[in-house]
Amino acid sequence: MADSDRGSGGPSLAYAWFVVGVLMLTYVFSFVDRQILSLLVGPIRRDLGISDTQISLLMGFTFALFYTFCGIPLARIADHGSRRGLIAAGLVLWSFMTGLCGTAMRYGQLLLYRVGVGVGEAALSPAAYSMISDYFPPERRATAISVYSMGIYIGGGLAYLVGGFVIQFASGQGELVLPIVGSTRPWQVVFLILGIAGVLFSAALWLVREPERSGVGAGERLPFLEVVKYYARNWRTLLCHNVGFGLISLASYGAAAWIPSFFARTHHWSIPKVGYVFGVITVIFGSAGIAFGGRLADRVRRRGVADASVRVGLWAALATVLIGAFYLIIPDPDLAAVALAPVVFTMSMPFGVSAAAIQEVMPQNMRAQASSIYLLILNLIGLGCGPTAIAAMTDFVFHDDNAVGWSILVVGTVANLSAIALLAAGLKPYRETLGRLKGATITV
C-alpha cells in the first residue's frame, strides 16, 4: 500500500479501523457457527440419541483438533501470501460445512461436518492478527486486536439469540420441508440459515486491502525450522503465555458450552429463554470486557509496563476466581443471570490482550505462524478440553445431569488458579524476550 495513503506512510487510521470492522464481522460468523451447538444440546441429544460427552466432542475436541493442526500450514501461507484471500476461502469453506451440518441425520455425519467447519475457521485468526499488526502501531495494537476479538462475544451471543429465535419459530411450525434438503428438524434449520449467510458475507472481504508488511523480519521468508529455533530460545516466555492463556480458555469455553444447559436443567428455563438472556449478556458484557481489556493493556503499556498485556490476563483470571461462583449457587434464576454478567465481563478480558502479547514478542515474518501455534495450544486446552472436562465430571464424578453447575465451578476454579500461577511466572521471561527482539533491556 502506498505511503501516501496516510501522509506519514501506510493506510489512513479510518481505513485501518474499517478493516478491523470487516474482520471482526467475519469473526462473528466464525463464533456463531462454532458456539451454536451449546444452545442445541437438548434437541440434538434427543434426535441423535447421544450423551453429554459425545456432544462435547462436537463442541470441543474434534473441532479443536482439526482447527488447530490445520492452522500451522495455513499460517505459513499467511506469513508470505495473500492473507485476505486465505480468510475469504476459509469463510466460504466453514460456512458451507455449517450448512451441511443442517443435513446431518447421524452422529458420524455431524462429526465429519464439524471437522470441516474447524478446517475452514483455521484460516481466519492467524492471518487477521498479522494484518491488524501491520495496520496499527504497537501502542494501539492491543485495542485493535481486542476490537477484532469482540467477534468472539458478539458471535457467541448472536448464536444464542438467533438460535433461540429460530428454534422457537421452527418448533411452532412443526417439521419443516425445505427444497432440496427435504424434511428438517428445528435445530437443522439453524445450521442451514447460518451457512447461507456466511457464504453471502464472504463478498465483503474483497473490500479489504492487504497492508504493507512491517517490523523485524518483514519480507523475509523463513523455513519452519527457524520458527522452532526461536521458540526454543524463548521457551519460558511462550510456554507460560500459551499454556496460561490456554487454561483461562479452558474455563471460559467450558462455561460457555454448558451455561445454557445449567439454566435449562437447574432453573428449568426453555431453550429460547436461555438463548435470549445468555445471548444479551454475552454480546453486551463479553464485548465490553474484551474491549476494556485491550484499552487497559494499551494504557498500562504507555506508562512503561512492557508486559501489560500479560498482566491484564492475570488480573482478569484472578477477578473471575473471586466472583465466579455466585451465579452458580444463587437459587433465584433471575438473580443468577444478573450475577453471571460480571463473570462474562472478566472472563472475556484476556482474549484480545493474549493475541496482542504474541504479536509483540515475534518477528513480523513469524507472526501468523506464532499465532497459529498459540491458537493450537489455546484451543486444544480450551475448546478441546473445556467442554469435555465439564461433561466428564458431570457424567463420571457427580453422575447427575443436574450437577452441571458444580462441574462448571470446579473445572473453572482449578483452571484459572493454574493460569494465574503460570502467567505470573512468565512475566520476567516475557520482558526478556521483548528486550532481545527490540535490542534493548526491558524493565517494569
- Whether 283 and 157 have beta carbons less than 8 Å apart is answered as yes
61: which 3 cell numbers?
Answer: 475436541
Q: Which residues are CB-contacts of 195 (< 8 A; sequence separation ≥ 6)? A: 33, 95, 96, 97, 98, 99, 100, 101, 102
Give 203-215 pLDDT, tens digit per residue: 999 999 988 876 5
**Domain ranges (residues) in the chain:** 7-211+224-438
Q: Which comes out higher in pLDDT, residue 220 or 340?
A: 340
Q: State how far the Cα of 379 lies from the Cα of 444, in Å rounded to an integer.
A: 30
Q: Is the dihedral of CA 288, 289, 294, 299 positive or negative?
A: positive
Q: State how far the Cα of 173 lies from the Cα of 426, in Å rounded to an integer.
A: 55
* Ramachandran angles phi, psi of 443, nearest 5°: -130, 170
Categorize the per-residue pLDDT at 67 as very low, low, confident or very high, splitting at 50, 70 and 90: confident
The secondary structure of residue 396, as a DSSP letter, is I
Q: Is the pLDDT of residue 86 over 60?
A: yes
Share of the chain above pLDDT 70, in %: 90
Residue carrying C-alpha cell 458456539: 35
Q: What is the mean pLDDT of residues 379-404?
A: 90
For helices 235-266 and 271-281, angle between their N-to-C axes, nearest 10 degrees: 140
Q: What is the mean pLDDT of residues 173-197?
A: 76
Helix (H, G, I), strand (E, B) or coil at 442: coil
According to the model, what pLDDT value does residue 438 have?
Answer: 77
* Ramachandran angles phi, psi of 102, nearest 5°: -75, -5
According to the model, what pLDDT value does residue 169 have?
Answer: 67
Q: Which of 29-38, 192-201, 344-353 has the lowest mean pLDDT?
A: 29-38
According to the model, what pLDDT value does residue 383 have?
Answer: 77
According to the model, what pLDDT value does residue 240 have?
Answer: 97
First-to-last alpha carbon distance for the chain, in angstroms, is 36
Give 227-282 pLDDT, tens digit per residue: 889 999 999 999 999 999 999 999 998 998 899 889 999 999 987 888 889 989 99
Strand partners, 178: 182
Categorize the per-residue pLDDT at 175 as very low, low, confident or very high, splitting at 50, 70 and 90: low
According to the model, what pLDDT value does residue 443 have?
Answer: 41
- Whether 236 and 421 have beta carbons less than 8 Å apart is answered as no
Strand partners, 183: 177
Categorize the per-residue pLDDT at 181 as very low, low, confident or very high, splitting at 50, 70 and 90: low
Mean of per-residue pLDDT scores for the chain? 87
Residue carrying C-alpha cell 520458527: 227
- Whether 243 and 422 have beta carbons less than 8 Å apart is answered as yes
8: which 3 cell numbers?
Answer: 506519514
Q: Is the pLDDT of residue 7 over 90?
A: no
Give 22-32 pLDDT, tens digit per residue: 999 999 999 88
Amino acid at 191: F
The secondary structure of residue 181, as a DSSP letter, is T
- Whether 294 and 142 have beta carbons less than 8 Å apart is answered as yes
Amino acid at 363: P
Q: Is the pLDDT of residue 288 over 60?
A: yes
Q: Which comes out higher in pLDDT, residue 216 or 263?
A: 263
b/e burial code for range 374-398 (CB count within 10 A of at least 16 → b): bbbbbbbbbbbbbbbbbbbbbbeee
According to the model, what pLDDT value does residue 220 have?
Answer: 61
Q: Which comes out higher in pLDDT, residue 364 or 359?
A: 359
Give 104-126 pLDDT, tens digit per residue: 888 888 999 998 998 999 999 99
Q: How many CB atoms lie within 10 A of CB 190?
A: 28
According to the model, what pLDDT value does residue 212 have?
Answer: 83
Q: pTM of the full predicted structure?
A: 0.80
Categorize the per-residue pLDDT at 51 as very low, low, confident or very high, splitting at 50, 70 and 90: confident
- Whether 313 and 244 have beta carbons less than 8 Å apart is answered as yes
CATH code of the region 7-211+224-438: 1.20.1250.20
Give 12-22 pLDDT, tens digit per residue: 889 999 999 99
Q: State how far the Cα of 243 lies from the Cα of 249, in Å rounded to an integer.
A: 9
Q: State how far the Cα of 414 lies from the Cα of 408, in Å rounded to an integer.
A: 10
b/e burial code for range 135-160 (CB count within 10 A of at least 16 → b): bbeeebbbbbbbbbbbbbbbbbbbbb
166: which 3 cell numbers?
Answer: 429460530
Q: State how far the Cα of 352 lies from the Cα of 152, in Å rounded to an integer.
A: 10
308: which 3 cell numbers?
Answer: 501489560
Q: Is the pLDDT of residue 6 over 50?
A: no
Longest Cα pair distance anywhere in the chain, in angstroms?
A: 67
